Every structure is written in C-alpha cells, then in structure tokens.
C-alpha cells in the first residue's frame, strides 16, 4: 500500500468507535481523517466529545484529539475527506440502514460493525478467514442499488467469532457438522456503555441478551453459505441451538460448544491437528491486523480464560481449549475471543484490509 487510504469513523465517540480510534493509530494502510457522531457531539474536538467517557486503556491517541467531530447524518460533509468509513452507531435498525446507505450511495466503502444488513442477501457478512470469497457479491450489490463505487460490508455478530474459525478449520478437512449446542458467556463491553448496572451483574448472570440467540443461530449459516444467482444462499445443512448469557467480565466472549458430526468423524488428534495447523487468506496475504495464528489451542485443563487469553494475537486470535468427547454429541470444546477487537472493531479493520488488498477499496 503506497498511499494510505483516508478513513472515517462514524459513531466515533461510542465504545466500539473508541476501539477503532485506538486500533487505527499508526495503521500502515489507513489514515483516520474524518470523525462523526451524534448531533450533540458535532462541532467539538474529539477530546472534548469523549471527555469523562473515554473507556479505553491508555490516553486518547494524539492524532485524534484535535479532530473535529461532524454530524454523522450529514453525509456530504465526508465527501473529499475520506473514501472508507467504519460505522459503529447506537441507532435503530432502520436508522442504521438509512445511515449506511446514505454513505454508500455517495461512493463510500462502508465497513459496518452494526447488524442492520447482516442478513441482506447481497451484503457480505465477513469473517475474513472463512468467507473471503463473499466479497465477490459486492458488484451485484452495487448494480442492485445503482451505486458506482460505494458498497456495504458488515461484520458478523461478536459472539460467533469465538467458535466459527475453529469450526471452519474442521470443515476445510472434510469434517462436516450436523448439529451444535452453544452456550455463550458474554462480556459486559458487548452491551456498550454504560450497559447493565452493577446491581444487575455483580454476584449474578443474566440469561438473556435480546436478539442474540437468533443471530447466533442464523448468521453462521450465512457465513458458511455460498454465492448463487446473485445472492448469498445460507448453508442449512447444520442447525445451532444457542443459549446467550451476560456475565460479569469486562472483555471477552466465551462459548461452550458441543458438536455432532455428519459422515466422517475426526479423532481428537485430528481435530487438534486441524486447529494447530490452521491458516487462511489473511495470513497468506499478511494483512496488517491478521494474527500469525488465528487459532491458539490451550493445553491447560482450565483454559481459555477471558482475563488470561482474550489479548492473544493482539486480540485477534481465537483461543480454544478443553477438547473432549461429548456424552450426547461427538465432541465439546471451549472457545474465547476478544469481543471488541476480533468481534467488533478489529474484525472490521481486518475486513477492510482484505477489501483493500483485493482492490475494492482504493485511496
């Protein structure tokens, strides 16, 4: 990348927006030149807009402090200031759709951390290691909407990241699964700030995250799907039953997974070999945010643990452990990923790097 791509962050003052701010500091391909948020933050320097509500470790990166925050709803203000925008906003699904199509229709590459378009048939929902070929739906999306340059690509649900790559590694070797039961234990930062009250979470687990189980049961079928007749067709050869819970952990989504295979069934040794030798397109392309190892298997009997393992691979690796036989299905294991890095901003940055490497985003 000889010239950095000018980049905007829409929703820059929120929890995920702040994570984008930190991850894009000194990024070799992307230069943040535009910030936007709600009307109440518009016109302020970024440091003033997040005063007393900066939630990342360390100080605000110096490059962002004096950038003036614009009104996210005024799309034309971004024209000429950036060509790529990351979106992470707290709005209704319909308002998110209006926002993101507003930018895409004006020629921006929109890489979204929001859920509004995740199940839209011509919008890729990318985990770059798994369904990188879904970027080929973008010209169809542009034709369907009459867009010359702009497009929308979205990041899947944060909780599915902790087990989708380990499952993909098995599928690559011909081990197809039929049914999965998954229980997630999801960190507080996934709810944004301020999230659930301390009174709700201390000495407690909340066994409901509204809409999360439905996303966890359907989005994997799209991710493992394929492009047919100008749309992404879901892979319905497997079923997921999901239980999604909120636990008193700041960062890190853990998943307890039971798998039933269909047809050829691997041994434990074969599963471990799949995981330990796994590599995919982001590693082959040496994308800046790609971890050297997308899957890290922990041999310790009590790992992975959020506090000890969520930052592996700069927060982009999936930590896996406790592989063992299942008394009901075939095998069970525990997966863990950092929900605001791999599961949100970091996963979106990796998506944008893939899109840039493949020529869909240009400076």
Q: Which residues are tagged catalytic? A: 158, 253
Q: Which of 85, 51, 65, 53 is nearest to 22 (CA)?
A: 65
Residue whose pair of structure tokens reads 């791509």 in the numeric block: 5
Buried/exposed code over 102-129 (b: 16+ C-beta within 10 A; e: otherwise):
bbbebebbbbbbbbbbbbbbbbbbbbbb
Contacts of 362 (CB under 8 A, 6+ apart): 5, 83, 356
How far apart, in whole angstroms, are the C-alpha atoms of residue 60 and residue 136? 37
Q: Are 329 and 179 in contact (CB under 8 A)?
A: yes
Contact 245, 184 (CB under 8 A): yes
Q: Residue 37: enclosing H or E segment and its boundaries? A: strand 30-37
DSSP string, 244-293: EEE-S-SS-EEEEEEEEEESS---HHHHHHHHHT---HHHHTT-TT--S-
Among 254, 246, 121, which residue's Cα sits nearest to residue 192? 246
Q: Could you tell me the two tokens for 358?
A: 């493949």
194 Cβ contact list (under 8 Å, min separation 6): none
Look up residue 246 and give its two tokens: 């909120």
- Specify whether the CB–CB gap between 86 and 61 falls below 8 A: no
The conformational region for residue 7 under phi > 0 = left, psi -120 to 50 = alpha, else beta, is beta
Q: What is the largest CA-CA distance in the chain?
A: 60
Q: What's the burial of 347, exposed, middle or buried (CB within 10 Å: 0-12/13-18/19+)?
A: buried
Distance CA 261, CA 273 (A): 17
């Amino acid at each position: 990348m000889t010239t950095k791509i000018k980049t905007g962050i829409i929703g820059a003052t929120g929890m995920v927006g702040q994570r984008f701010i930190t991850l894009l500091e000194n990024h070799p391909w992307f230069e943040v030149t535009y910030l936007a948020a709600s009307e109440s933050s518009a016109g302020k320097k970024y440091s003033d807009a997040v005063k007393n509500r900066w939630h990342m470790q360390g100080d605000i990166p110096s490059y962002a402090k004096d950038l003036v925050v614009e009104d996210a709803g005024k799309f034309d203000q971004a024209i000429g200031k950036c060509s790529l925008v990351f979106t992470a906003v707290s709005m209704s699904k319909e308002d998110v759709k209006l926002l993101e199509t507003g930018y895409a229709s004006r020629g921006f590459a929109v890489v979204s951390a929001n859920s509004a378009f995740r199940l839209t048939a011509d919008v890729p929902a990318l985990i770059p290691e798994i369904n990188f070929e879904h970027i080929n739906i973008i010209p169809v999306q542009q034709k369907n909407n009459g867009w010359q340059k702009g497009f929308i690509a979205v990041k899947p649900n944060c909780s599915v990241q902790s087990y989708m790559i380990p499952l993909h590694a098995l599928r690559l070797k011909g081990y197809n699964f039929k049914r999965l039961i998954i229980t997630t234990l999801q960190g507080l930062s996934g709810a944004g700030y301020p999230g659930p009250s301390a009174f709700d979470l201390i000495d407690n687990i909340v066994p409901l995250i509204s809409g999360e189980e439905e996303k966890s049961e359907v989005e994997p079928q799209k991710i493992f799907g394929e492009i047919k007749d100008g749309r992404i067709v879901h892979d319905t050869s497997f079923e997921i039953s999901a239980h999604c819970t909120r636990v008193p952990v700041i960062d890190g989504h853990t998943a307890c997974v039971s798998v039933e295979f269909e047809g050829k069934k691997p041994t434990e040794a074969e599963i471990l070999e799949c995981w330990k030798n796994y590599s995919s397109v982001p590693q082959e392309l040496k994308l800046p945010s790609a971890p050297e190892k997308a899957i890290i298997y922990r041999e310790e009997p009590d790992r992975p643990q959020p506090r000890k393992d969520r930052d592996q691979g700069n927060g982009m690796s999936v930590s896996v452990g406790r592989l063992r036989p299942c008394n009901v299905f075939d095998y069970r294991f525990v997966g863990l990923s950092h929900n605001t890095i791999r599961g949100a901003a970091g996963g979106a940055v990796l998506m944008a790097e893939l899109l840039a490497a493949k020529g869909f985003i240009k400076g």
